[in-house]
Amino acid sequence: MHRPIFEQVCVIGLGLIGASFAQAIKDNGLSERLVAVDRHAPSITEAIEHGLLDAGSANLQDVISGSDLIIIAVPVQAVQAVFVDIKQAMDNGQLAADCILTDVCSTKVNIIDAAKAVFGSLPVGLVPAHPIAGAENSGYHARRASLFVNHSVIICELATTSNVAITKLRLLWESVGANVISMDAGHHDRILAHTSHLPHLLAFNLVEQLASHDDNLDMFRYAAGGFRDFTRIAASDPKMWHDIFFANQSAIVSALDEYGVYLQTMRQLIIGKDSTALMGLLGRAQAARRHFGHMLASTPYTDTSAMSASYNITPSNTVSGTIAIPGDKSISHRSIMLGSLATGVTHVTGFLEGEDALATLQAFRDMGVTIEGPDTGNLTIHGVGMNGLKPSKTPLYMGNSGTSMRLLSGILAAQSFDSVLTGDTSLNKRPMERVAAPLRTMGAVIQSTGHSGTAPLSITGRDTAGKPLQGTEYDMPVASAQVKSCLLLAGLWAEGTTTVTQPEISRDHTERMLSAFGYPVIVEGNRISVTGGGTLTGGDIAVPADISSAAFFMVAAAISQNSELTLTQVGINPTRTGVIDILKLMNADISLSNEAHVGGEPVADITIRSSNLVGIEIPEHLVPLAIDEFPVLFVAASCAKGRTVLTGAKELRVKESDRIAVMAEGLQTLGIDCTVTDDGLIIEGKGTATESGDINNNSQPVFGGGHIVSHHDHRIAMSFSVASLRASEQITIEGTETVNTSFPGFAELANQIGMSIQVDTDAE
């Protein structure tokens, strides 16, 4: 129950919206008194009998005196007449001149015009509003106090309106559970014309079209669920929609005209049997529906602060079996990018259907590329060539994927059109000047945000910038595959040669895949060069299992008791096998078999057995080759005998979280002694390895139990899941939704080999 915001609220119109708003105000104690006006006498009588109203009448003058808020909930064409009655009440002294006036109509410009016509100048208390909520049934009896909970309410803040009126009305809507959005009235009407008014118009029209056929009975009898779902809204109040269609005439006609163009396009595609173009249109529509669903719902494509899922893990101490790890995320990203820019068709198998890779896929769909799938890891990409991308109509949304944003920056810096890259709250905090600055040396015009140089990134196209990118020689201060790849990709369009020199070897998937698509790449030690002006040719790409994902299970088997686990056909690219090298230095029992090459990438089955791990000083040359695997390697180090020291790993501080600080915090929570340094971590392992090789000691707990905050970093969450194998008590990990960015199905696969992870999606 809230404190009252108003002394007396008067609701004019007790239909679904008006009565629901009245009930919500009553139930939440937001007004001292509640009165209403409605021409339907039974509704007024019942509302008084139910205790909803203190008074009611068919005549506004009977009940309006003393109201400090009036809510107009009548058909839009009737609003002007209501304004006339309100003005009369003001002239008679029944209402104060600053009384707040608001409405719930779905058009706004005509409400403002009606107020001007009646009052001469807009009242200081006028706040046009529109709740985006409704139900199939209408009228007083359909009212629900919860109708507005978690629904948006658009408020049009006029220059003539007092701040007090805006503040109080915003507070009222928020108090009944709504999310308040401010919007210009004209923009509101244009948006609603497309998203609400046009769909209703089409539904009414389609039902009328079918009803006019001679065989209409069979049409309706055999109509499938899609017809019923689409035309459900045609059961809405005809009088209300009649008024809305006229009230928002200009915007609706414009939306209809635009819709007609799209219909004509689809008609021509069907007549011409243009399979690729039609598949592209249908695929983009399907993907856009899913994409915007992610953006608007509480999923990993949105602000992670709204997330609440967690893992509750019961300790277990043995894992075993043979499992397949999902496809490599790095290669999945690049297959979309290069396949889209190639000439011809590219078929991809093993594509990782995680949130990060799907963000890349959606971005290229937004730029006009036809992509079929994904369907159980299979994709068909109809390449548009090096100069075939089209400008996206909206900012390209990267979700939580730093790889998507940094690599795309290089591609987009060379395009003819302007573009904007944005991401979720977490991604928009990560540093982007590390790619923006070297791109500028090539002539790119790119603007990052804020003093720290973060996203959103605004990239000016070459048509505006005036000249193509120029090849450059760039000495990387820190080995980073993302920065290297960004510059090499930009170099595909640059005049001359682009050369990147890295201080240490970093993953080389971009170089390998460019070669697979027929683009010449020169590799001379740590110097990698491309010359602009070439072409890419589509082909078949087989994505191997991701070694970064496999690392969690490698460590799981190594630290647990009597375990033997085989991971099939994992990518063992030599720029990615640092995790294997480090674990072997720690005395892990790891063997490779069935080695082969798939799509230019080496693969093998990896078998890991229980091991007596020992602490080591991790060689700095291996750090770039295992940069993503260090969170779970920290878990291995905690289970090793002796001290493990990591240096040269500043890159870990600018991942999805500061992985050094966050892992140290979690390890300390579980009872591990560790020290954070400027560029690494020192871990005092609690293992008790024996010279005899007896691995029974792996049954002894190393970690306590506790509550871990993952900071919505997928690798942090999965690493502490692995720690449960050597824990004495239950571990709860908060913020695990982002695991789907890189490893969908992680918990299920972990449970399959013997772990015990319960996924709780209602933690808050």
Kindly state the tokens that stand for 562: 């009597």
Q: Give residue 374's region: left, alpha or beta (phi > 0; psi -120 to 50).
A: beta
- In DSSP terms, 312 is beta-bridged to 732, 758
For every residue of 315-376, DSSP letters joined together read -----EEEEEPPBPHHHHHHHHHHHHHSBSEEEEES---SHHHHHHHHHHHHTT-EEEEEET
3-class secondary structure per residue, 658-694: CHHHHHHHHHHHCCCEEEEECCEEEEEEECCCCCCCC
Q: Identify residue 700 by its one-letter amino acid code.
A: Q
Amino acid at 551: A
How deeply is 107 buried, as exposed, middle or buried, from its count of CB atoms within 10 A (0-12, 13-18, 19+)? buried
- The token pair that represents 253 in the structure block: 């006609």
Residue 366 annotated in active site: no
**Residues 180 and 173 sit within 8 Å (Cβ to Cβ):** yes
Of the candidates 7, 169, 54, the residue with the CA atom closest to the CA atom of residue 100 = 169
5, 30 in Cβ contact below 8 A? yes
Helix (H, G, I), strand (E, B) or coil at 284: helix
Return the closest-CA partner of residue 115 out of 82, 146, 152.
82
Of 614, 629, 683, the closest CA to residue 659 belongs to: 629
Distance separating alpha carbons of residues 211 and 220, to the nearest angstrom: 8
CA distance 628 to 670: 22
- Three-state secondary structure call for residue 721: helix
Burial of 488 (0-12, 13-18, 19+ CB in 10 A): buried
Nearest CA among 611, 736, 753, 667 for reference residue 312: 736
607 forms beta bridges with: 566, 591
β-strands 100-103, 31-37: how paired? unpaired
Q: Active site residue: 189, 366, 589, 628, which one?
A: 628
Characterize 224-238 residue by residue with b for buried, 16 or more Cβ atoms within 10 angstroms of its Cβ, and e for exposed: eeeeeeebebbebee
Sheet holding 152-155, edge to edge: 129-131, 152-155, 179-182
Active site residues: 628
